Amino acid sequence: MDELHITGGTRLDGAVPIAGAKNAALPQIAAALLSPHPLELTNLPKVSDVDNMLRIISLYGAEVQRNAGGTVINAQNVTPGEVDYETVRKMRASILVLAPLLARFGSARVSLPGGCAIGARPVDMHLKVLSALGATIAVEGGYIVANASDGLKGARVVLPGPSVGASETALMAACCATGETEILNAAREPEVVDLVACLVSMGAEIEGAGTHRLLVKGSTTWRAASHHAIADRVEAGTYAAAAMITGGRIELVNARMEHLSSVLQVLESMGATVWPGDRGVVVEGHGRIKPADFTTEPYPGFPTDLQAQFMAMASIAEGASVIRETIFENRFMHVPELSRLGTNIALNGSVATVRGQPSLKGAPVMATDLRASVCLVLAALAAQGETIIKRVYHLDRGYEQLDRKLAQCGANIRRVSL
């Protein structure tokens, strides 16, 4: 298992190419199963979650051709079949293949995804949506067994909560349902908006992208399509935090300012200067970071996927910050590891009080999940001395060439294969 060896204290300065959004790519790869015509996806990030999702759809019979320009998926010969737990448990997003398989073939059998480090992450909302569209759902031996022998029927679907994945399940299922579907309480994340754009390019008729109310016409006539995934706002926010925590300056090439407004607001309140550069968004840190209070919320609120990274920044701020996590019930797994670097963070349920320290000290630490791993990298960039981060395979799930991108900005970082 690889390790990252980081010696902190260097001010980062450079430009980082922001890759395509992992959380846009995964539902788009699943959506390819809906259509018998080729779907070309460009700007897919080279991360292991994308590799895993492409492998899952190929196990159902989809042909995947990856080349420098993009990835062409041909799902003409796909059969519902089933993919084993071993493959599915590695990635919760595998649940996203359930809707397309059920909608297109009238039946599907998909393993229940295991939990993960950040919480139980049930799939009840996905199943409620499919039932509302006329499917019968059973759970047998750890598998979801879904049937809609007469096809799905358009309906008024009210999501119990703003779930990104359940909104994506609803969209994909509704495209094949007979008649119109109204989806209420839909998530507004840019990745959901991008899935709508991808489905529309494939022939779907969908209104209301970016609002809580989506209207899907149904009975889609599919066509060959090509779609370019949006840039990854979480990767962009992560490198913005890297600039801040080292008092440096990074241009986030291809980042979309409009997808980062709540993030940039917090960054500026912590002392960053932010401006649009020639190729993206420039973020510059200046001296001591100011403390900030923030709460994670559904988009356009502050994203939960940047909570750990901003906690790392707060850990060296000049004062105390209060961070509330409202999306996941267990997303403070990074706190015990951060404390090994000398942070002072008190947890009380979903609230973390972070008392900024004048400096951190490097130490060996262990990554637990994707965003917790990168938060340790950020803290290590500011810490005195060397930090060794183990289990960096978590990082590879969602960050493309992180060590190389940071090294190109001047970071003293090495990836060591053991």
The reply, when asked if residue 92 is annotated as ligand binding, is: yes
Enter the tokens of residue 28. Answer: 């788009």
Closer CB to ligand EPZ, residue 60 or residue 328?
328
SS (H, E, C) 51-114: HHHHHHHHHCCCEEEEECCEEEEECCCCCCCCCCHHHHCCCHHHHHHHHHHHHHHCEEEEECCC
Please report how close the Cβ of residue 22 comes to ligand EPZ at its closest, in angstroms. 6
Closer CB to ligand EPZ, residue 32 or residue 164?
164
Per the annotation, the verdict on 116 as an active-site residue is yes
Closer CB to ligand EPZ, residue 190 or residue 362?
190
Provide the edge-to-edge strand list for the sheet that holds 386-390.
364-366, 386-390, 3-7, 412-416
What is the gyration radius of the CA atoms in the chain, in angstroms?
21
Please report how close the Cβ of residue 158 comes to ligand EPZ at its closest, in angstroms. 14
Please report how close the Cβ of residue 408 comes to ligand EPZ at its closest, in angstroms. 23
Give, in degrees to the nearest 5, the angle at Cα 85 between 82 and 89.
125
Please report how close the Cβ of residue 305 comes to ligand EPZ at its closest, in angstroms. 5
| Distance between CA atoms of residues 383 and 381, nearest Å | 6
Residue numbers of the site for ligand EPZ (CB under 6 A)?
A: 22-23, 26, 92-93, 119, 121-126, 161, 163-166, 191, 304-305, 327-328, 370-371, 398
The reply, when asked if residue 66 is annotated as ligand binding, is: no
* Phi, psi of 235, deg, nearest 5: -60, -45
Sign of CA dihedral 379, 385, 388, 393: positive
Bond into 300 cis (ω within 30): yes
Closer CB to ligand EPZ, residue 98 or residue 264?
98
> Which DSSP symbol is given to 10?
P
| Distance between CA atoms of residues 109 and 107, nearest Å | 7
In the complex, residue closest to ligand EPZ by CB: 165
Closer CB to ligand EPZ, residue 248 or residue 398?
398
The reply, when asked if residue 144 is annotated as ligand binding, is: no
Please report how close the Cβ of residue 275 comes to ligand EPZ at its closest, in angstroms. 27
Closer CB to ligand EPZ, residue 101 or residue 370?
370
Sign of CA dihedral 321, 247, 305, 48: negative
Closer CB to ligand EPZ, residue 243 or residue 308?
308
Closer CB to ligand EPZ, residue 150 or residue 258?
258
The reply, when asked if residue 147 is annotated as ligand binding, is: no
Please report how close the Cβ of residue 334 comes to ligand EPZ at its closest, in angstroms. 12
Strands annotated E in 179-244: 181-184, 206-207, 213-216, 225-228
List the one residue out of 75, 84, 83 whose CA is nearest residue 28.
75
Cα dihedral value 175, 176, 178, 180, nearest 10? -10
The reply, when asked if residue 183 is annotated as ligand binding, is: no
| Distance between CA atoms of residues 103 and 98, nearest Å | 8
Which amino acid is located at 206 in the chain? I
Catalytic residue among 116, 175, 176, 198: 116
**Cβ pair 264, 27 in contact under 8 A:** no
**Cβ pair 234, 216 in contact under 8 A:** no
Give, in degrees to the nearest 5, the angle at Cα 111 between 127 and 138.
45
Please report how close the Cβ of residue 307 comes to ligand EPZ at its closest, in angstroms. 9
| Distance between CA atoms of residues 168 and 385, nearest Å | 44
Please report how close the Cβ of residue 95 comes to ligand EPZ at its closest, in angstroms. 8
**Cβ pair 416, 255 in contact under 8 A:** no
- The set of catalytic residues is 116
> Which residue positions form the known binding site for UDP-N-acetyl-alpha-D-glucosamine?
92, 305, 327
> Which residue positions form the known binding site?
22-23, 92, 305, 327
